[in-house]
Amino acid sequence: MTTIPTDETYLASVIRFTMKSMTTKTPVPFGALIVETATGKPLIKALNAVAAENDPSSHAELRTVRKACKKLAKKGKGRSLKGYTMYSTCEPCAMCMANILWSGLDRVVYGATIDDANRHCNQIKIPAREVSTRSDMPCIVDGPLLRDEAYALFTHPNMLKVFEQWKSGPRTLKKAAKKGKA
Ligand SMILES: [Zn+2]
């Protein structure tokens, strides 16, 4: 008999996957994984790629939904993620939670909270549960789980350096624009 791994196992795996970004040029604390709810079979995982893709909507959860739907569409399964569960290193923002609801995901399990993330970067302070309960689409929201492990992504020394760059980013860009190309 095969047993489905626990929520902790999946969350720990997506935290490890996200932690690998800390030694790359673009460290991010946000990663997500989608698994089939009934079998626990992993479908797809992705990291935040806002900087890499120059796309403010390229949050980990939203990218994971996009990739999952594309993968399922190839198998002729349409665009619904009903029957699937998402594990995310951080509580989904209002944009991602809305997307999760539209996608039909059964459940989302998160690590760190929006408040945890907000200590380091800008956030929209609406709890994922509130977005879910105010919609017509059913989706169970579970978390925080493995919060300390997930929060360690935000306090990694390489991540802290990048947060500083995010804060000074617009000013740096303005300076560069003044100097030359603008
Ligand atoms: Zn988001």
Task: Dump pLDDT digits (tens) for 65-95.
Answer: 999 999 999 988 878 999 999 999 999 999 9
* Whole-angstrom distance, CA of residue 160 vs CA of residue 129: 28
Catalytic residue among 8, 36, 61, 91: 61
Whole-prediction pTM value?
0.91
Can you give the residue ranges of every domain in the chain? Answer: 7-168
The mean pLDDT of 52-72, rounded to a whole number, is: 96
40-48: which pairs have CB atoms within 8 A and are 24 or more residues apart? 40/4, 40/5, 40/10, 42/10, 43/68, 43/71, 43/72, 43/84, 44/68, 44/71, 45/14, 45/17, 47/17, 47/18, 47/21
8 carries an active-site annotation: no
CA of 94 to the centre of ligand 1 (A): 7
* DSSP 8-state symbol, 134: T
CA of 176 to the centre of ligand 1 (A): 29
Structure tokens at 51: 């900087």
CATH 3.40.640.10 assigned to domain 7-168? The reply is no
Greater confidence (126 vs 1) lies with 126
* Whole-angstrom distance, CA of residue 142 vs CA of residue 120: 23
CA of 73 to the centre of ligand 1 (A): 23
